[in-house]
Amino acid sequence: MTQTDIEALLKAELHRIAPDIEIVDVDRDEDLREEFDIDSLDFLNLVTALGKALNTPMPEADYAKMGTFNEMIAYLTQKAA
């Protein structure tokens, strides 16, 4: 899966969780939870959905590496490699 594919997947999952937010307007270096106004359960659902889609484990110990949109893309790209 390419980085472009991963970005499209992340955008789709974020849109599913927060459909009213325009992803193009989001600061990619800000905390995802704040930018998308999602709580811990929504974040867990996001991580779980991404892990299933990529067929890769995403342990809770790694959540700190997934704080922003850009960090999440980097993390997922590395995991998918």
State the DSSP string of 15-26.
Answer: HHH-TTS-GGGS
Domain topology for 3-80:
1.10.1200
Cα within 13 Å of Cα(16), Cβ side = 13
pLDDT for 81: 78
pLDDT for 5: 94
Q: How many residues does the chain have?
A: 81
Cα within 13 Å of Cα(18), Cβ side = 19
For residue 71, give the 3-state DSSP assignment: helix
pTM over 0.75: yes
Point out the residues of the chain with pLDDT beneath 70.
none
pLDDT for 52: 95
